[in-house]
Amino acid sequence: MLDETRIRLEVIHFVRALRERWLAIPTSELSRFTVHLKGQQGIFKPAELTEALSITTTIDNKHAQDTIEGSRVLYDYVSRDHENDSLKRCAEAELPLIYFLQVKKRPPEYVIFAPVYVVGWNDESRCFIVDLSEQKPGEVVSPAPLRRQLPLPVMRTPESPSEIRELTRSYAVSTVQRRLYEARFRNAVLNAYGERCAVCRLRIRPLLDAAHVVSDREPKPDINVREGIALCATHHRAFDANILRYDDEYRIRVTLPDRAGEGELAMLLAFDGRELHLPSDRDQWPEAL
């Protein structure tokens, strides 16, 4: 395999592995890789490669909020034409790229899409079309083969290639939208709670989640922090497992299935009956359960 192809694939593998652990990835994690992955903004080419590797949209960019249509984003040409030309060559050669979308300012965090492909450009309006669905252009990815046939009446198999394409497309669109929504939701909720667990006040951002207090609704354009609560990983799991809940007065209620030992006492029962640490703005308090 060509050296450049290998580097490109290794980089993509690296950022996808990071994504398993982070909804939005802090810059500090990105610098662990030997090759530079991104510039401050715009089109970036590391010294090791002949063509562009990544595209970064910052939070201040006018496109940061709303240009993602379905799974595609319009990306304006940058001022340096040789960089635009490099991206055009990436499109022609169908080279996989990484797309970084900043969702938090300082310290910065990014939602990452990889591999993405530039599927077109327009010299008149000076913009690229980047597809974030993480599928090679023109490639029809059929739904994963079933390991075991289940006799479910609701199961429906697509009958024609166009149906498969349509299903794949809608799946890709919702995956892109969901990934963005979750990162922005977490950011907004953690912000409202001063980056603290509402139960134990733990204040280490990588260990904090925005738990959904209402069951998964479709991602909406507007984020409502009342649909979430900031919890550390342990209290989030306990919340989802119905071990830890809150009552109408926002007091913590802990229900354990078995007799409690030292760990359960320290990490769960110690908070039973206490008040949640809620945002100072009452309009941001979570919805009643």
Q: In the bound complex, what is the minimum distance in angstroms from residue 210's beta carbon to Zn ion?
A: 13
What backbone phi and psi angles, to 5 degrees, belong to 131? -95, 125
What single DSSP character describes residue 276?
P
For the stretch 269-272, contacts whose Cβ atoms lie closer than 8 Å and that sit 24 or more positions apart, written own/partner, are: 271/199, 271/200, 271/244
Rounded to 5 degrees, what angle do the CA atoms 20, 22, 25 make? 125
3-state secondary structure of 56: strand
Taking CB under 5 A as the criterion, the residue among 127, 132, 232, 268 binding Zn ion is: 232
CA distances from 73 to 86, 87, 96, 100, 252 (A): 18, 14, 15, 12, 43
Residue 45 corresponds to which tokens in the numbers above? 């080419």
Which range touches Zn ion (CB under 5 A), out of 54-62, 108-116, 198-206, 240-248? 198-206
Residue 97 or 232: the one with the smaller Cβ distance to Zn ion is 232
**DSSP of 58-110:** -TTSTTTTT--BTTEEEEEPPS-HHHHHHHHHHHHTT--EEEEEEEETTTTEE
Binding track over 154-193 against Zn ion, x by CB under 5 A = ----------------------------------------
Q: Is 254 in the site for Zn ion (CB under 5 A)?
A: no
Residue 180 or 199: the one with the smaller Cβ distance to Zn ion is 199
Other CB atoms closer than 10 Å to residue 171's CB: what's the count? 15
Residue 211 or 232: the one with the smaller Cβ distance to Zn ion is 232
Q: In the bound complex, what is the minimum distance in angstroms from residue 206's beta carbon to Zn ion?
A: 13
Which range touches Zn ion (CB under 5 A), out of 58-66, 138-146, 170-178, 230-238? 230-238
Query: Taken in order 23, 176, 186, 60, is the CA torsion positive or negative?
Result: positive
Q: In the bound complex, what is the minimum distance in angstroms from residue 93's beta carbon to Zn ion?
A: 48
Taking CB under 5 A as the criterion, the residue among 197, 225, 254, 268 binding Zn ion is: 197
Which range touches Zn ion (CB under 5 A), out of 26-34, 94-102, 159-167, 232-240? 232-240
Taking CB under 5 A as the criterion, the residue among 235, 252, 268, 279 binding Zn ion is: 235
Q: Is 200 in the site for Zn ion (CB under 5 A)?
A: yes
Q: In the bound complex, what is the minimum distance in angstroms from residue 242's beta carbon to Zn ion?
A: 16
3-state secondary structure of 203: coil
Q: In the bound complex, what is the minimum distance in angstroms from residue 255's beta carbon to Zn ion?
A: 17
User: Considering only residues 31-90, where is the footprint of Zn ion by CB under 5 A?
Assistant: none
Which range touches Zn ion (CB under 5 A), out of 31-39, 146-154, 164-172, 229-237? 229-237
Could you tell me if 212 and 189 are in contact, meaning their C-beta atoms sit under 8 angstroms apart? no
Binding site for Zn ion (CB under 5 A): 197, 199-200, 202, 232, 235
